[in-house]
Amino acid sequence: MQNFFQMVKFILKIIYRVEDDRMKQNENTEITDIVNMIISDYDDDRTVNKIDIYNQPDKKAIVDIVEKLLKILYPGYYNDKVYKIYSLKNNMSATIEDVIFYLKKQIMTALKYCREDDADDEQELEEKAKKITLEFMKKIPYIRSILETDIEAAYEGDPAAESKDEIIFSYPGLYAISVYRIAHELTNLKVPMIPRIMTEYAHGITGIDIHPGATIGKYFFIDHGTGIVIGETTEIGEHVKIYQGVTLGGLSTSGGQKLRGKKRHPTIGNHVTIYSGASILGGETVIGDDVVVGGNTFIVNSVEKGTRVSAKKQELKYSNQI
């Protein structure tokens, strides 16, 4: 009897093994079919297809360039801790050379990727990329001088700031502004795609969306920052302070690509404060100097100099809980 049960057990084990192998074979066949189905879908002419990965801008490389540029803009704040302080200048020299090399490479790739025809050959593109890169790097002292005013505005405008070091180390608003200042100069030099990748990277980290095409003056302060949107054709003067949730946007985008290149976003004067949740929309909307825009306001018309704008006081309703 014991031999009988052992025989049955042995037969069942064989049956289970055969069934398991059959199921695995069916599963592998199904997986292979799915893989082939997805790969064959790449043959269709879809916008989301981009197989030529070696001839398009490298997002990871661009992010690395941003981080190195921040080290250059704020020496000693963004440096790797393995560096010795006495070799800071030497390390900065190496970082600057790295940025020049890799930025030129990415700019050349972007120029090649975004060109509409083959008017420029490889050598011409390389020379153009080199010229743009060197022109940008010459602007580093200017960018640093503007950021100095932004830090000053943050320190003077926020009583919670204990030091300027704290602002540089921790304020997301300054981080977003710093990346914007970099990207804006590249935009002015007609670099395609790369500036937007830079500002959207900062957007993902801080929740602050500043288009690199916007024009922003000195002493710019973003307080808290989350949810701020500043559109492409926005113009902002000097000594402007905005709070979280502010939108400086277009009044309508129903025109789509027909609106490209047109003034779609507002103009903000000097010494303007815009409190949280305010929306200021439209290319013809001008906010004059010394205006204070209250929270949760919706503005689509111009506001004269020295005006205080506020939403009508909300009526609060209270009810007793049982």
Is residue 7's pLDDT more than 70? no
Q: Are residues 259 and 196 in the same domain?
A: no
Of 175, 190, 208, which one is at a domain's C-terminal end?
208
Contact by Cβ (8 Å): 297, 311: yes
Give Cβ neighbours of residue 169 (< 8 Å, ≥ 6 apart): 77
d(CA 309, CA 292): 6
Under 8 Å between Cβ of 253 and 232: no
Do 84 and 192 lie in a common domain?
A: yes
d(CA 153, CA 54): 43
Return phi, psi of residue 259, to 5°: -90, -5
Q: What is the dihedral of CA 61, 110, 99, 219, to 10 degrees?
A: -100
The residue-averaged pLDDT of 247-269 equals 86
Is 305 part of any domain?
yes
Number of domains in the chain: 2
Identify the helix (H) or strand (E) that includes residue 235: strand 235-236
Query: Across residues 168-192, what is the average pLDDT?
Result: 97
DSSP bridge partners of 308: 292
Tokens of 162: 């204990």
Per-residue model confidence (pLDDT) at position 276: 97
Alpha-carbon distance 150 to 221, whole Å? 6
Give me 102's structure tokens: 């890799």
Domain assignment present for 272: yes
Residue ranges making up the domain that contains 186: 54-208
Tens of pLDDT, residues 262-284: 899 999 999 999 999 999 999 99
The Cα–Cα gap between 34 and 82 comes to 48
Asked if 297 and 310 count as a contact pair (C-beta separation under 8 A), the reply is yes
> What's the pLDDT band for 197 if we cut at 50, 70, 90?
very high
Residue 77 lies in a domain: yes
Q: What is the pLDDT of residue 122?
A: 83
Stated pTM of the model: 0.84
More confident residue, 116 or 159: 159
CA-closest candidate to residue 177, choices 145, 141, 208: 208
pLDDT at 3: 57
Boundary-marking domain end, from 151, 174, 208? 208
Average pLDDT, the chain: 88
**Residue 83 reports pLDDT greater than 60:** no
Crossing angle between the packed helical segments 88-114 and 59-73, to the nearest 10 degrees: 140
Judge if 72 and 118 occupy the same domain. yes
Average pLDDT for 178-188: 98
> Do 219 and 188 share a structural domain?
no
Q: Give the domain CATH number at 95.
A: 1.10.3130.10
Beta bridge mates, 241:
221, 273
* pLDDT score of 86 more than 60: no
Same domain, 174 and 70: yes
Residues 204 and 66 both lie in one domain: yes
* Token pair 């689509």 in the structure block, residue: 300
Q: How confident is the model at residue 90 (pLDDT cuts 50, 70, 90)?
A: confident
The residue from 159, 192, 208 where one domain ends is 208
For residue 292, name the pLDDT band (cuts at 50, 70, 90): very high
Report whether 136 contacts 103 (CB < 8 A): yes
pLDDT at residue 257 in the model: 77
Q: What is the CATH number of the domain that holds 226?
A: 2.160.10.10
Q: What are 149's two structure tokens?
A: 């005013």
Q: What is the C-alpha separation between 177 and 155, in angstroms, rounded?
A: 15
Q: Is residue 29 part of a domain?
A: no
Q: How confident is the model at residue 103 (pLDDT cuts 50, 70, 90)?
A: very high
With a cut of 60, say whether residue 12 has pLDDT above it: yes
Residues 83 and 152 placed together within one structural domain of the fold: yes
- Which residue, 229, 217, 143, is CA-closest to 185? 143
* β-sheet bridge partners, residue 247: 229, 279
